[in-house]
Amino acid sequence: MKKTLILLLLMATGVSLQAQNLSPYTIYNAKGKEISYSKMMATLSKQDIILFGELHNSALAHWLQVEVTKELATKRALQLGAEMLEADDQNAVNLYLSDSIDQKGLDTLARLWPNYTTDYAPLVNYAKENKLEFIATNIPRRYARLVNKGGFEALDTLPAIEKSYVAPLPIAFDAELPTYKSILEMMGEHGTPSLVKAQASKDATMAHFILKNYKTGKLFIHYNGAFHSDYYEGIGWYLKRQSPTLNYSTISTVTQADITKLNAEHIGKADFILVIDEDVTTTY
C-alpha cells in the first residue's frame, strides 16, 4: 500500500511538472515533424554552410543563434557571416575583431543596424573573443537602391572598386522563383520588377561573399532574415547554382499562437523551422 501511494505521488508530481514546463519554442523539420534540439544540432554539425534565417526583432532567435554557434564551435572550426553587415564595412569589422578599434570606432566606421547592440553584437563579440572570421556579406544598401531604380544595369556604371562589393556582374536572376513572385504580390501596386531585382542583388551578393570566404573543412554559419533563405531560395539558390556539391542546411524562424503543431503555411520552409510563441517579447 505504501509503495502504491509513493508511486501515485510521483506520477502526480510528474504530471504537474509537465504542465508547468512551458517552452517558448518548438523545432520542426521540413515535413512538419517535431524534432529535438540535439537532433538538429547533430545534423548542423555535419554541414559546410548553414543559413540561419531569423526574424530581425526576435530576442529568442538571437539568443538561439548565439547558443547554436557556441555549441557548434565545440565540434567544428567555424566561420561566421551576416546580412546585417555590408561588404564595404569589412575593413572596419576586421579592425574591430583585431582590437585595433573599439565598439565606438566600429559604430563610427560601419553602418550598423539600429538593433546591432542588442541583437548582433553578441555574435560579433563571440567571433572577436574566439578569433573567428566574421564576414560582412550584404550588398551596400546604396547599390541595392540603384538596382531598385534602374535594374541590374545600373550597377554597370560603378567604378571597379565599388563593383568589388557586389556579386560579379551580370547577376543571374530567375523572376519565376516563388519567393520573388511573392514580393510582387505583397507589395501590390508598389511592387516592380526592379524591386525584386534589388532583393536578388542582396541574395546574390551574400552568396558570393559566403563562397568567396568559405574554407574547405570549416563550417560557415550565416545569419540572415528568414525571407532570404526560406524554401531554399534566395541566398540558397545562388549558393547551389555556384557550388552544388557543398552540404547546406537552412533554419527558418516563425511565430505562432500555438507552437504544438506547425502551421501548414510553414511546412517546407527550411530544414529546421524554429517556431516561437508569438507572446515572446521582441527587441523592437
Q: Could you tell me if 83 and 228 are in contact, meaning their C-beta atoms sit under 8 angstroms apart? A: yes
The answer for residues whose C-beta is within 8 angstroms of residue 269's C-beta and 6 or more apart is 30, 226, 230, 231, 252, 254
Residue 268 gets the label, from left (phi > 0), alpha (psi -120 to 50) or beta, of left
Instruction: Dump pLDDT digits (tens) for 233-281.
Output: 999 999 999 999 999 999 999 999 999 999 999 999 999 999 999 999 9
**How far is residue 157's CA from residue 169's CA, in Å, rounded to a whole number?**
11
pLDDT at 187: 78
Q: Domain residues of the chain, as ranges? A: 25-277
**How far is residue 162's CA from residue 1's CA, in Å, rounded to a whole number?**
82
Instruction: Dump pLDDT digits (tens) for 12-31.
Output: 444 333 344 589 999 999 99
Q: Over 50: is that where the pLDDT of 284 sits? A: yes
Q: Over 80: is that where the pLDDT of 3 sits? A: no
Q: Could you tell me if 193 and 151 are in contact, meaning their C-beta atoms sit under 8 angstroms apart? A: yes
pLDDT at 22: 80
Q: Which three cell numbers stand for residue 61?
A: 532567435
pLDDT at 18: 38
Instruction: Dump pLDDT digits (tens) for 129-162.
Output: 999 999 999 999 999 999 999 999 999 999 999 9
Instruction: Dump pLDDT digits (tens) for 156-214.
Output: 999 999 999 999 999 999 999 999 999 988 877 777 989 999 999 999 999 999 999 99
CATH code, residues 25-277 = 3.40.50.11550
